[in-house]
């Protein structure tokens, strides 16, 4: 198994390949990742596109810690051009919500802690603002309520 394949397997995020790593300090590691999805769906006309048009700016995305090190993913989303409507768009990914700088699994980790611990302690431990911790908690609490309401109505 190639080194990048091993790292990708250890990371455990579908459709994401680790290209290289950088140990920034005793407290932080950065994984440089790229999407391996071959196509993207146009958000306007819902057709599949294979035409990669370019890359977005680099994003530094907070992920779960590895050992004692905070982990960040350095990621550039691909831009596609739609074959049908000729519009360009940024690929969507299943492992991160649009508009936030952390993975879904990191958000779930923060939410689970917020269910049991004070927001200020989590903010300090995770090096986040209290507002960020609160926003993550509220997002996941609302999502959980919607899910429970859907299950009750069936």
Give the mean pLDDT of 145-154: 61
**pLDDT band for position 152 (cuts 50, 70, 90):** low
Q: How far apart are the first and last CA of the chain?
A: 46
Position 11 scores a pLDDT of 84
Residue 27 banded pLDDT, cuts 50, 70, 90: very high
Mean pLDDT to the nearest integer, 26-44: 92
- pTM assigned to the model: 0.85
Q: What 3 state SS string does the chain have?
A: CCHHHHHHHHHCCCCEEEEEEEEEECCEEEEEEEECCCCEECCCCCCEECEEEEECCCEEEEEEEECCEEEEEEECCEEEECCCCCCEEECCCCCECCCCCEEHHHHHHHHHHHCCCCHHHHHHHHCCCHHHHHHHHHHHHHHHHHHHHHHHCC
pLDDT at 149: 58
The domains of the chain are located at 1-96, 103-154
Task: Please state, in angstroms and rounded to a whole number, the distance separating the CA atoms of residues 59 and 57.
Answer: 6
pLDDT number for residue 1: 67
- The mean pLDDT of 25-52, rounded to a whole number, is 92
According to the model, what pLDDT value does residue 98 have?
A: 87
The rounded mean pLDDT for the chain is 90
- More confident: 3 or 42: 42
The per-residue pLDDT for 123 is 97
């Amino acid at each position: 198994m190639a080194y990048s394949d091993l790292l990708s397997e250890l990371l455990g995020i579908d459709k994401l390949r680790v290209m290289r790593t950088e140990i920034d300090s005793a407290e932080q590691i950065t994984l440089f990742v790229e999407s391996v999805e071959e196509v993207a769906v146009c958000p306007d006309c819902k057709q599949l596109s294979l035409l990669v048009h370019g890359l977005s700016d680099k994003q530094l995305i907070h992920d779960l810690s590895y050992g004692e090190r905070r982990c960040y993913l350095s990621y550039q989303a691909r831009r596609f051009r739609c074959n049908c409507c000729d519009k360009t768009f940024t690929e969507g990914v299943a492992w991160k919500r649009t508009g936030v700088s952390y993975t879904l699994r990191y958000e779930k980790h923060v939410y689970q802690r917020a269910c049991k611990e004070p927001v200020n302690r989590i903010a300090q431990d995770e090096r986040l603002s209290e507002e960020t911790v609160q926003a993550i908690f509220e997002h996941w609490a609302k999502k959980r309520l919607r899910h429970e309401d859907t299950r009750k109505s069936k």
